[in-house]
Amino acid sequence: MGLSLPRRVEPELLDSLAVEDPRAQRSRQDLRRIHRAMATLSIVQHALDCCTAGFRPRNLLELGAGDGSLMLRLAQRRSAGWPDARITLLDRLNLVTPQTLEGFHKVGWNPCVMTVDIFDWLAESDNTPLDVVFANLFMHHFSPDELTRLLAGIAMRCRVFLCFEPRRSSLTLVGSHLVGFLGAGPVTRQDAVSSVHAGFRAKELSKLWPNPQDWVMWEYSAGLFGHCFFAIRKDP
């Protein structure tokens, strides 16, 4: 059941903390627990399999990649079918450890870390085509105007776009108030509630995607608390 409240985007506390702040470090650990509670990996893996049926991705990019741990877990599951893939981990902060990079190399993937603001990336002249652009708990940070600009830029650069976000629903809002039972600290307890208010429901992302006649799109509730959207470019 969706909330009657409109979508509300507000700054999240984690984004204002320095990388070395102990509160930030704890919050990033909390996010791994939240991913397990949301079954993020299984949901994303299933969605990617649907998106890439019939072709093998070779060039992938994750927006707001954080420490890269989720993408590494995905690579470990998909490397046999997607050998020699190149994965770019884009974030405004470089949080990817040498151990994570080595993990990609061990499964035969070629990682690249790009430390840049997303809109600076969009402004760059390099429009090298990407097979898959992926975003996890990232798109909800943006206002409708920012999302329109961001999605238009993504659509110009990829064959497939997939994002997994918080679902804006009464059940998810209740869950966000209970993340303390997962061991989450004060930063995560505050940001979890904000994330739900900024989340998505129904076809909100589909309505913002450009040139819908050129794409196959699917937007749906995923698991108890998640919301998925993917767009696949139609063959010319």
Domains of the chain by residue range: 25-233
- pLDDT reported for residue 1: 44
**157-166 average pLDDT score:** 97
Would the pLDDT of 141 be above 80? yes
CA 209, 212, 216, 218 dihedral sign is positive
Give CATH superfamily name and number for 25-233.
Answer: Vaccinia Virus protein VP39 (3.40.50.150)
What's the pLDDT at 2? 45
**What local confidence, expressed as pLDDT, does residue 5 receive?**
77
| 3: pLDDT strictly greater than 90 | no
Closest CA to 4 of 211, 173, 170, 216: 170
CA pair distance 166, 35, nearest whole angstrom: 11
- Closest Cα partner for 136 from 83, 233, 61, 52? 61
Distance CA 191, CA 197 (A): 10
- Of residues 208 and 5, more confidence is placed in 208
Mean pLDDT of 72-92: 95
Give residue 236's pLDDT.
62
pTM: 0.94
pLDDT 10s digits, 168-204: 999 999 999 999 988 999 999 999 999 999 999 999 9
Q: What DSSP letter does each residue of 145-193 carry, written as one string?
A: HHHHHHHHHHHHHEEEEEEEEEB-BHHHHHHHTTGGGGT--HHHHHHHH
Over 60: is that where the pLDDT of 161 sits? yes
Q: Tens of pLDDT along 31-70?
A: 989 998 899 999 999 999 999 998 999 999 999 999 999 9
